[in-house]
Amino acid sequence: MENLTILLADIILFAAAALILLPILVFSVECWASRAPAKRCDRAAKRPRPPVAILVPAHDEERVIESTIRSLNSELTDQDRLVVVADNCGDDTAAIARSAGATVLERQDLDHRGKGYALAWGVEHLRDAPPDVLVIIDADTPADPESIAALVGEVQSSNRPAQAAYVLGLPPSPSVRDKVSCFAFTVKSLVRPLGLARLGLPCSLTGSGIALPWPLAARAEFGGANIVEDLQLGLDLAISGYPPRFCPSARIRGVLPGKKAAAASQRTRWEHGHLQTLLKQTPRLIAEAVKQQRIDLLAMAMDLAVPPLSLLCLAWATMTGVAALAATLGTSWWPVAILGASGTALAASVLLAWSRYGRDVMPLRTLLAVPLYVLWKVPVYLAFVFRRQRDWLRTERGEETSSSAGEISRQ
């Protein structure tokens, strides 16, 4: 009976070690591939630019909407349009957007709130005179120069959705937690998609900085209160035959939320939305990959199956401790060895990403705070089990410096 118990424990530990090894391998391959040289491609530069509509969903964004519109105005041509959807606003967002030169649509529907509903409203407005390309920019994320042109060129060359590199800046007087959070977001929204692009694979849609051919935008399911509506949209488009492409030359910039409560809310929304989508959509993507015989869908499934980095670290540390304890009681040491190799690969990949993309936001000594940052995220994961967030909530903005990272919940 004792031997049977040890055998059963070995099987469980091996399975758990393998389950943790797989997402770490995917994460590592993406990070290392991001260092590969880019493939030269100049197809889009030879094409005339088509008519473009930039759609900006905004809810109470009077503090930031003007700077975002200014960053976009410089890229507009006579055939382009910039449309702001002032969605359930109780401030001067609409007036400021008009004065900055945007066409403004005001929407009031308290029973249907969220970015998805605002986008659906804006798309309906554009149907009478549709553009060739639709670009979606969040109200709080100004675009770097030439970013719209890069996104449109990517759509032209591929006839597929394109996702810009979405990066976050640090708030004034950032805390150590802010710096770790900013780096984690960079890994999620820049390093990993860049690695997929270097491998010739599609990426997920990560939020602001999305470009779509109009025929896709016209039939996309924007309406709804999905708390990670961008991620879901990208998966739906991929399954229908239009997997998104990453466009690193387009850069969209946000900032960490300014209030602690707002940061916690945003973090929880994205963490829970990511995990819900992971659990529901990974099996769907695998099934469609088999049905359609498409390696790109399988790659997207593997990428989606990588949990938030903090959760992955927690799972690895917990399982390593359990396996080591079990080994001292008589089980095999092989699961410990597998987990040790996994942890080494994870640490090496994080250091590689930091060496290229994290030096400016996070000094090397700040890496020592990563374990504390991971522990700080534990309540978010417990809440997913006991009090899961399912509704869309806007991130409140303010001048208070946050010691947490709201948008970071994506990582």
Report yes or no: 248 and 190 within 8 Å, Cβ to Cβ.
Answer: yes
CA distance 83 to 134: 11
Segment 305-363, tens digit of pLDDT: 999 888 999 999 999 999 999 999 989 999 999 999 999 999 999 999 999 998 888 88
What is the predicted pLDDT for the residue at 111? Answer: 81
Does 41 score more than 60 pLDDT? no
Q: Helix, strand or coil for residue 83?
A: strand
One domain, residues 225 and 97: yes
What is the predicted pLDDT for the residue at 264? Answer: 53
Q: Helix, strand or coil for residue 16?
A: helix
Residue 29 lies in a domain: yes
The pLDDT mean for the chain works out to: 86
One domain, residues 134 and 252: yes
The type of residue at 409 is S
Q: Region 12-26: what's the mean pLDDT?
A: 96
CA distance 329 to 21: 23
Strands of the sheet containing 81-87, edge to edge, are 103-107, 81-87, 52-58, 133-136, 210-213, 162-169, 245-255
One domain, residues 52 and 126: yes
Residue 229 lies in a domain: yes
Does 93 score more than 70 pLDDT? yes
One domain, residues 134 and 248: yes
Report yes or no: 333 and 397 within 8 Å, Cβ to Cβ.
Answer: no
Cβ neighbours, 10 Å, residue 312: 18
Terminus-to-terminus CA distance in the chain, angstroms? 44
Biggest alpha carbon–alpha carbon distance for the chain: 80
Residue 306 lies in a domain: yes
Q: Which of 66-70, 177-181, 284-288 has the lowest mean pLDDT?
A: 177-181
Angle formed by the axes of helices 229-239 and 115-126, to 10°? 60
Please name the residues in contact with 3: beta carbons below 8 A apart, sequence gap of 6 or more: none
| Beta bridge mates, 245 | 162
Q: Which of 13-27, 226-240, 287-301, 308-322 has the lowest mean pLDDT?
A: 226-240
Report yes or no: 29 and 194 within 8 Å, Cβ to Cβ.
Answer: no
One domain, residues 21 and 90: no
Tell me the HSE value of 119 on the side-chain side, using a 13 A CA sphere: 28
Q: Which of 37-41, 137-141, 275-279, 366-370 has the lowest mean pLDDT?
A: 37-41
What is the number of structural domains in the chain?
2
Give the structural domain span for 77: 44-257
Q: Which is more confidently placed, 136 or 392? A: 136
What is the predicted pLDDT for the residue at 407? Answer: 36
One domain, residues 72 and 214: yes
Residue 277 lies in a domain: no
Cβ neighbours, 10 Å, residue 320: 19
Residue 289 lies in a domain: no
Report yes or no: 86 and 93 within 8 Å, Cβ to Cβ.
Answer: yes
Segment 121-145, tens digit of pLDDT: 999 999 999 999 999 999 999 999 9
Q: Region 251-257: what's the mean pLDDT?
A: 86
CA distance 357 to 137: 23
Residue 292 lies in a domain: no
One domain, residues 65 and 187: yes
Residue 263 lies in a domain: no
Identify the CATH number of the domain in which residue 107 sits.
3.90.550.10
What is the predicted pLDDT for the residue at 385? Answer: 74
One domain, residues 65 and 193: yes
One domain, residues 241 and 116: yes
The type of residue at 131 is P
229 band by pLDDT with thresholds 50, 70 and 90: confident
